[in-house]
Amino acid sequence: MAAKRFTIAIVGALSLLLATPFASLAISQEKKESPGLSEVLTDLLQGAGGEDTTAGPDRRVPFGRDEMQLSYAPLVKQTAPAVVNVYASQTARVRSPFDGDPFFEQFFGRSMPRSQSSLGSGVLVDEAGFIVTNFHVIKDADEVKVAMSDGREFASKVLLKDESLDLAVLRIESDKPFPTIGIGDSDALQVGDLVLAIGNPFGVGQTTTSGIVSALARSHIGISDSGFFIQTDAAINPGNSGGGLINMGGQLVGINTAIYSRSGGSIGIGFAIPSNMVRAFVEAAKAGRDFFERPYIGATFDVITPQIAESLGMETPYGALVSAVETDGPSEQAGLKPGDVVLTFNGARIEGVDALGYRLATQPIGTQAELGVLSKGEEKKVDIALTRAPEGASVTQMQLRGRSPFAGAKVADLSPRLAQRLGMSADTKGVAVVEVDRNSPAGGFGLRPGDIVREVNGQTIDSARKLSDASQQNARWWRFTIERDGQLMRQVLRY
């Protein structure tokens, strides 16, 4: 019976709280010794066996009608001017089956160039005009324009882009400084934190939505090669790509990138690239890098499965299993061996291989990191140097010529550094296509930067010189094997 009376008392207290104007509940300065409203509510909840919801000064549930009427408007007013619309256009020529035939061209004409465009968002992160957006927003664009929320438009220059991270940095210029949003610490986010998503969905104009952080460190969601995303239920729709995910302090904590949806509209599952990755990418752009370099440690890693974890005596499967170590590389010098497990990186728990890759990518080259390692059943700490990927024995790029499907392509022997530039694993070996002239035979046959040529007319290709010699053959039939994104493709062409 006593428990029932106590429950009623709490409900009554909450009802009084919600029904009474906030002003009438305020405690005057003359009565400082009287307990405040929050203290009374806390004591009641603790007495009922509940948790202390006011333990943290920055995170607590709202109580009181006046607090429920608070607005995000001041935060939006502060941050929205720094979120821009990004318009990317590309002139594409669609080939006609009659192109090249004078008889049919006089009746049907030649195919005409067609303009393709895409719409996205971006965030100004520096008053000098540096803008962060998604790679897929400006991919293959011939022209990129930026529209401010105040109506101004600017032509922009693409300073740096990376398809594997789905990030790009643009630059616009003006005599006056631009409004900006400061880059916050995405590692400080917790599930349940309030966030705002600002962008230009469906091209209707700048739009702000609110939500919470639904999950952290999401991976294997098919957005890009990066496997470390913030998940939010703040509504994100087409056109929001490249927009900002803002915390309650007005800081950028993520770049909105994609949604999970079967209809094309938001169903409350959106993903953003963490701001710590964005910060590292912007710094590389400001430094004038031609590609985003990740620190090199000279090791490859595999996933820890439940079976592997059990065999290693681990209670739960987490971390990254060292599968191979490069001779004289930073990992070997730090004492890492195949079979070791990396458990932490600078104190942060490593859930898997993707998490380790993310942590590495956010660190500056030339520094050191502390790894927590499980080796032969014992945990230890090791320091490892984060170095620049080596160039390899040959850095020469060769322009292929002759009458072959490879004419117009520039190729080179893969080194760890070149592999990084092309978005590959640093331990990838072979001869890679570095550049392709669109109007060349190689461009016409569909060769792409990043393709690895494995075989030509029965000859194994293990050097750029050998591929150059093979492309000089006077052959009518060409049989070759290309590796693209880990898949082998065999082609037979009459040329």
Per annotation, catalytic residue among 126, 166, 233, 413 = 166
Report d(CA 354, CA 417) in Å as an integer.
20
Q: Residues 6 or more apart from 289 whose CB is under 8 A from it?
A: 160
Cβ neighbours around 102 below 10 Å, total:
7
**3-state secondary structure at position 285:** helix
Report d(CA 287, CA 372) in Å as an integer.
31
Q: Is 166 a catalytic residue?
A: yes
Residue 36 CA, chain-centre distance (Å), reads 45
Q: Is 136 a catalytic residue?
A: yes
Q: Residues 6 or more apart from 240 whose CB is under 8 A from it?
A: 120, 121, 197, 199, 200, 201, 207, 256, 270
Helix or strand (DSSP H, E) at 479: strand 477-484
Pick from 212, 281, 271: nearest CA to 243? 271
Q: Is 34 a catalytic residue?
A: no
Per annotation, catalytic residue among 121, 136, 233, 275 = 136
Q: According to DSSP H, which parts of 191-345 are helical?
A: 275-286, 306-311, 330-334
Per annotation, catalytic residue among 214, 226, 241, 266 = 241
Q: Residues 6 or more apart from 271 whose CB is under 8 A from it?
A: 218, 221, 223, 229, 230, 231, 232, 256, 257, 258, 259, 260
Is residue 314 exposed (0-12), middle (13-18) or buried (19+ Cβ within 10 Å)? middle
Give the residue numbers marked as catalytic. 136, 166, 241
